[in-house]
Structure 1
């Protein structure tokens, strides 16, 4: 079966506004496509995702439809901008909603997200990318996702300046290399887990 990826873009800007986070997410999906991974992009802020830590918070909550895409995917990509040294509030809400997966299990009793791979990407013209990636990796690993080697990519612009990632004339070589490595390793790990899932507990 071909592998599938879902990219959750955690920009604060609703569509159709241009978004550096969405650009980097698309670049990751494009790289994954070179490894026969089909991808889908969701800009989370375009949807009414309610606060909470349940699968469905009711009353028009649109997270359940997004969750279905995550469940159907082999690879989850989370991309966030940096605001005041932290991930966006949209990204934090995504992590809070993923918390519900801690109580979900598969037919063998394993956590439902076991067997899925996650990668992270961060953009911003201030410091914070390494800290944000560390926070994302911890939360995603706790939830059951597997993190591939060098499973992140990021771009930090010059501090206190106004140039965004999407304003660059071309993608810096270091970012392209990190994006390519993250995609290649994510596809490799996802293929391995698709063939040989983690063992069930006793």
Structure 2
């Protein structure tokens, strides 16, 4: 199953809840990639106990999808799986995951069992997940479960879509 990493911070994604905000807005191309994908992973750092403003921007732009439908009247993101990964060196991962899950669900994504993973370093200390010598076993196990469950659910939804509206 091929995948693509899109680092939204590297793109001009304007604030708002529209599918296209005009000349220079790079969201339409990212949106096309999301629409073509079976699984969307939103990954965010924990900043002052909250998701990054960039992750929030993605949710805001995805909000426009609530008014987009397929040929049978289903919201456009129905049949897609949404998962979440959070990293940081302070607490907040559960709240961030809950906020993202609710947003993704409202937009039409399906959340698999154990569809969230996180790593938090020691509070008030430096250190980033990407700088670890190895992934802690508990995190590696959770990551693997997330992937298995997301792929399983995406395969099921690919075979049998939600009923038409």
Q: CA deviation at 1:59?
A: 2.3
User: Residue by residue, what CA displacement relative to the aligned partner does 1:93-126 show, whole Å, maximum 9, x if unpaired?
Assistant: 0000000000000010000100000100000000
Residues 152-196 of structure 1 deviation map (CA, whole Å, 9 limit, x = unaligned): 111000000001111211100011001000000000000000000
Q: Secondary structure at the match of 1:40?
A: coil
In terms of fraction of residues, the more strand-rich structure is 1
**d(CA) in 2 for partners of 1:105 and 1:173?**
41
In structure 1, the residue matched to 2:25 is 61
Give the root-mean-square deviation of aligned CA atoms.
Answer: 0.5
- Greater than 2 Å deviation, 4+ residue runs: none
Q: Give the secondary-structure state (helix, strand or coil) at the position aligned to 2:5.
A: strand
Q: State how 1:1-202 maps to structure 2 within 5 Å.
A: 37-201=1-165
TM-score between the two structures when normalised by the length of structure 2: 0.99
- Secondary structure of the equivalent of 2:114? coil
SS at match of 2:41: strand
Counting matched residue pairs gives 165
- Residue by residue, what CA displacement relative to the aligned partner does 1:114-139 show, whole Å, maximum 9, x if unpaired? 00001000000000000000000000
SS in 2 for 1:77: strand
